[in-house]
A and B are shown apart, each in its own frame.
Chain A
Amino acid sequence: DVKVTQSSRYLVKRTGEKVFLECVQDMDHENMFWYRQDPGLGLRLIYFSYDVKMKEKGDIPEGYSVSREKKERFSLILESASTNQTSMYLCASSPQGGGANVLTFGAGSRLTVL
């Protein structure tokens, strides 16, 4: 069964803390994505990666960075967490090519910044 695993389901952090959200996929997918989901705003793309060590900004990259050192792992980093980064974070992966490949999502990481 294909899987995208997000290491933390729930996190509570303080303003100014550095936060790491980890995502691992076991499907040998080339593409990986980080979205955030907020009520009334839907899913918005933060960053994506189509290969190891490659990254592309999505629609809302400000305040975030990413790391992809291995094909199966894609990390989202909040250098200095702020309260407006309280959200549900969703990681996804898909195979390379075509532009219409299905994204498989993880269960999500709900982050609260106090």
Chain B
Amino acid sequence: EDQVTQSPEALRLQEGESSSLNCSYTVSGLRGLFWYRQDPGKGPEFLFTLYSAGEEKEKERLKATLTKKESFLHITAPKPEDSATYLCALSTGNTGKLIFGQGTTLQVKP
């Protein structure tokens, strides 16, 4: 069964304190691994898609990496505005539907 597990559930950082969020997955055939950001009371907002092991993508203070079993979202020198829930999701077939992890809620304190 295709499955996505994110850890930790919650993460508190001081401003400037770098860290990583983990997304572990088991899948029969990976079409793409997605990262989304979700602010309270809003819908998820797309960040990255990774397609194959070894791939990396960056956007401002965020960098996403992919192995055959895991993806990491590295946050370098975070700011309070990076506080949000980060969601990892898999696409495994031709339908376009995504399987989501439970999310990691990040709080960055000034």
Q: A40-B102, A42-B100, A43-B100 are in contact. Are A99 and B43 (CB under 8 A)?
A: no
Interface 0/1 of B35-56, CB less than 8 Å to A:
0100001111110010100000
Q: How many interface contacts (CB-CB < 8 Å) are there between A and B? A: 75
Given contacts A42-B102, A108-B42, contact A100 B95 (CB under 8 A): no
Q: Is A56 part of the contact surface with B, judged by Cβ < 8 Å?
A: yes
B95 near A56 with CB under 8 A, answer: yes
In the assembled complex, B78 has its CB within 8 A of some CB on chain A? no
User: How extensive is the interface on chain B, given as a class?
Assistant: 20 to 34
Chain A residues closer than 8 Å to B91, beta-carbon distance: 99-101
Minimum Cβ distance to chain B for residue A95 (Å): 8
Given contacts A42-B87, A43-B87, contact A99 B102 (CB under 8 A): no
Give the number of chain A interface residues (Cβ < 8 Å).
Answer: 31
Residues of B near any A CB (own CB < 8 A): 31-32, 34, 36, 41-46, 49, 51, 87, 89, 91-103
Which are the 5 A-B pairs with shortest beta-carbon distances? A100-B32, A105-B43, A99-B31, A42-B102, A43-B100
A→B interface (CB under 8 Å) = 4, 31, 33, 35, 40-45, 48, 50, 56, 58, 90, 92, 94, 96-108, 110
Chain A to chain B contacts (Cβ below 8 Å), 5 pairs: A48-B97, A90-B43, A99-B32, A100-B91, A105-B45
